Amino acid sequence: MTGSDIEHLVTKLHSALGQGGASLDTQAVLEALDRLHPSDIADLLDELSLPEAQAVFDLLPDEHAAEVLDEVVPDTNRYLVEHSPHERIVKLLDILPMDDAAEVVAEVGEQEAAPFLADLAMQDAREVTELLAFPERTAGRLMTDKFAAVGARMTAAAVLDYLRESATRLETINVVYMVNDAGQLEGVFSIRDLLMTSPDSLVASFANSEPITVTAEADQQDVARLISQYDLVALPVIDRANRILGIVTVDDVIDVLVEEFEEDVAKLVGTDAEEMERKSPLQVATLRLPWIMATMFIELLAGLVIHHFDQTLTKFILLASFMPIISAISGNTGLQSAAIIIRGLSTGHVQLSRWRHSLMRQVTTTMILGAVCALVLGIIGAIWDRHWAFGMTVFLGMFMAVNIAGIVGTVVPLISKRAGYDPALTAGPFETAFQDVIGISIFLSLASVLLHWLR
């Protein structure tokens, strides 16, 4: 659904729900939700107040409600679980694939979800508990054990019969895995491979014996990178003995990529991805205030630099007109470089082992950007002041500030990644503030050196 569609439906739901869901028009709500995909319904619930979301959720059929519970943001998820009948949440968890059920439990909190797990079927509860035993943001948390597995000596015809019988309980039948009696992964083949071979062919004769795999402890970003790099529909997860534990499907990877992108963007602007969920103004302010205060104190350094060069500015006040321009352009250049490197580290296109290559690419780019911006601004400065020396000062100040900003924006995320920190946390407002200080320092230092030529 588009943003305008969501807005239109939210308006209809507000009308049907009355004040906070108090005067519910059931028929109008059902008409508004008619034929909507559960993911779209989840988007709608996230736009409503929590009591309104609960009122709509209570009207959903169980199959839709289960998917919606998995799709809504964590705050809405927790509210729905806490305010829905115990028996219904147990039923919804049972409907969901166990990897999705584990995600719901993780968002609610294992302690709060314990009563629901206790009433789940023993096998389902065990599967959810095993998934939650893996660290967050790993392949183990994303995988499902509902995959197609066959033996090497089965025929293609037998595999087709097996898939027909098992399709409804499997996550996907597009990919089939060849395993031995010990559960060790020996090969993989697609449904296309199966259909193109003769019915009497043994699986071992057409399966790929070198499947791409990850361990359960692998970072979810590495999983996403492998699926993207090799155009996989699913990626098998194995243990140290090469036994297949489960698979991660491409739909889960898309969710990971969206989540990681939103988090990186949020951190780059000095906030947190949680702010994109349901937060009160006070909670949002509490979340952002430390970043804002830290940035403010860094920017005070720029004030000290300006104060240090007050004699230069007094003698040549026109310098002040170009300071915000140089500061803004260098800051933006540094932030762009940081964003490119951070996304590259996330997707695997930038690797620490090839840091020199990444640095040289960014340096070359920023030299071009710096030269063009510096030349334009230098000409404007020379025309404005009617003196070539002032234009040269502006040119050199802009060129050096932009290039230093680009280098810092490239190197800082790489160093942070090497040190084990999240690169996005070290960029954003902090880096922009430092670039302001550096840009102003360079510009005013050059102006002081060239001052006797400016008159």
CATH superfamily ID and name for 273-453:
SLC41 divalent cation transporters, integral membrane domain (1.10.357.20)
Pick from 301, 319, 304: which is nearest to 434 by CA?
301
Residues 6+ apart with CB under 8 A from 281: none
- Say how many Å lie between the first and final Cα of the chain, rounded: 63
pLDDT by position in tens, the chain (length 455): 555 666 777 777 767 676 544 556 677 677 777 778 888 888 888 888 888 889 889 989 899 899 999 888 888 899 999 999 999 999 999 998 888 888 888 888 878 888 888 888 888 888 888 888 898 889 999 899 899 999 999 999 999 999 999 998 898 999 999 999 999 999 999 999 999 999 999 999 999 999 999 999 998 888 988 998 899 999 999 999 999 999 999 988 887 777 766 666 665 555 555 544 556 677 667 766 776 787 788 778 888 888 888 887 877 788 888 888 888 888 888 888 888 887 777 766 777 778 888 888 888 999 999 999 999 999 999 898 888 888 888 899 899 989 988 888 888 888 877 877 667 666 666 666 777 787 788 888 888 877 666 55
Segment (H or E) for 234: strand 234-238
- Taking Cα atoms as reference points, which of 408, 441, 433 lies closest to residue 294? 433
64 token code pair: 């839709």
All structural domains of the chain with their residue ranges: 3-135, 148-249, 273-453
Write the CB contacts of 301 (distance below 8 Å, at least 6 apart in sequence): 437
How far is it, in rounded angstroms, from Cα 316 to Cα 312? 6
Pick the CATH number of 148-249 from 3.40.50.2300, 1.20.120.330, 3.10.580.10, 3.20.10.10: 3.10.580.10
Burial (CB count within 10 angstroms: exposed 0-12, middle 13-18, buried 19+), residue 412: buried
Q: Is 19 helix (H, G, I), strand (E, B) or coil?
A: helix
- Secondary structure of 159-200 in HEC code, one letter for each residue: HHHHHHHHHHHCCCCCEEEEECCCCEEEEEEEHHHHHHCCCC
Sign, CA dihedral 397-400-402-404, equals negative
- Contact 430/298 with Cβ under 8 angstroms? yes
Superfamily of domain 3-135: MgtE N-terminal domain-like (1.25.60.10)
> What string of H, E and C letters represents the secondary structure of 52-113?
HHHHHHHHCCHHHHHHHHHHCCHHHHHHHHHHCCHHHHHHHHHHCCHHHHHHHHHHHCHHHH
- DSSP letter at 237 equals E
* CA–CA distance, 108 with 130 (Å, rounded to integer): 17
Cβ pair 341, 414 in contact under 8 A: yes
